[in-house]
Amino acid sequence: MLAEKNLTGKFKFEFSEAVKSFSQWLVSIGQDFSYKEKDYTITAKFECDEDYYNAEAKALELEDKANPQMSFDLEEDNNGTPSVSE
């Protein structure tokens, strides 16, 4: 008998910088993947759930870092209002 589990992760990004960083991270851990430039989608097959969950967490982290809105949010002052430069 042969039993095989295939776990495929499909990661669709909003920001190209996140795609670049995520693909570099996948290469650094020796993970094969395919990439569709048209819609910023990376597809990878994982051997176990833990590998997939680690990749999912990394993808979310990198997408947040690449989000320009996140940098704006960090510039807000302590009371939650955006700072205004004059």
The yes-or-no verdict on residue 16 having pLDDT over 80 is yes
| Residue 83, in any domain of the structure | no
Is residue 2 one of the residues assigned to a domain? no
Is residue 33 one of the residues assigned to a domain?
yes
| 42 within domain boundaries | yes
Tell me the average pLDDT across 20-37.
96
pTM: 0.74
Structural element, H or E, at residue 43: strand 41-46
Q: How many helices (H) and strands (E) does the chain have?
A: 3, 3
Average pLDDT of the segment spanning 36-57 = 94
CATH for 42: 3.30.70
CA nearest neighbour of 62 among 40, 44, 31: 40
Residue 81 confidence class, pLDDT cut points 50, 70, 90: low
When divided into structural domains, the chain yields a total of 1
Q: Is the pLDDT of residue 67 over 70?
A: yes
> How much of the chain, in percent, has pLDDT values that exceed 70?
80
Residue 71 confidence class, pLDDT cut points 50, 70, 90: low
- Is residue 67 within 8 Å of residue 14, measured between CB atoms? yes
Annotate 9-42 with three-state secondary structure: EEEECCCHHHHHHHHHHHHHCCCCCEEEHHHCEE
Is residue 62 situated within a structural domain?
A: yes
Residue 82 placed within a domain? no
pLDDT of residue 27: 97
Would you state the structure tokens that stand for residue 58, as one six-digit string? 């990394």
Could you give the CA distance from residue 82 to residue 75 in angstroms, rounded to a whole number? Answer: 7
What pLDDT was estimated at residue 7? 92
Print the domain residue range for 18: 7-68
